[in-house]
């Protein structure tokens, strides 16, 4: 991955928030992501597809739901940028993760 590609992908606030949510949680179901960000499922899926195509995310299917996580093969400089950004946005991301718990969306993945 080239720096310009990374910055273009992360220049969108929604995609940046998705990456930081996954940094904080390890793995999330698509339903948790769209709940946290208060977005529609199709819009969330479009952003997730861009992140996956860039090599930042990996996905796995669990029943009818898709779970996402950061790719473990990210280059060290990419991991560092994500880590530094996460540290500056830690409170915002914690609030987004709390919104998942409050709305009880975790149960959607077990349907």
Residue 110 in any domain: the answer is: no
> Which of helix, strand or coil describes residue 25?
helix
User: Which pLDDT does position 106 carry in this prediction?
Assistant: 47
Has residue 111 been placed in a domain? no
In a domain, 109, yes or no: no
pLDDT band at 2 (very low <50, low <70, confident <90, very high): very high
What is the extent of the structural domain holding 44? 3-104
Locate all alpha helices (DSSP H) within the chain, ordered by sequence.
3-10, 13-25, 30-37, 41-53, 76-103
- CA dist 76 and 29 (Å) reads 25
Say how far apart CA 27 and CA 46 lie, in whole Å.
Answer: 18
Question: What's the CATH number where 44 sits?
Answer: 1.10.10.10
Residue 39 covered by a domain: yes
44 and 30 Cβ atoms separated by less than 8 Å? yes
Q: What does the alpha-carbon distance between residue 38 and residue 81 come to, in Å, rounded to a whole number?
A: 25
Residues 4-33: tens digit of each pLDDT: 999 999 999 999 999 999 999 999 999 999
Number of structural domains in the chain? 1
Any domain includes 52: yes
Give the tens place of pLDDT for each residue, 81-104: 999 999 999 999 999 999 888 876
Q: What is the CA radius of gyration of the chain?
A: 13
């Amino acid at each position: 991955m080239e720096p310009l590609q990374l910055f273009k992908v992360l220049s969108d606030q929604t995609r940046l928030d998705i990456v930081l949510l996954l940094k904080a949680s390890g793995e999330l179901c698509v339903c948790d992501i769209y709940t946290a960000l208060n977005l529609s499922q199709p819009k969330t899926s479009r952003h997730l597809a861009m992140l996956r195509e860039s090599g930042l995310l990996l996905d796995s299917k669990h029943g009818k739901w898709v779970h996402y996580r950061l790719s473990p093969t990210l280059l060290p400089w990419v991991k560092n940028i994500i880590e530094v950004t996460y540290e500056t946005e830690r409170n915002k991301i914690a609030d987004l993760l709390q919104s998942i718990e409050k709305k009880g969306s975790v149960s959607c993945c077990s349907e």
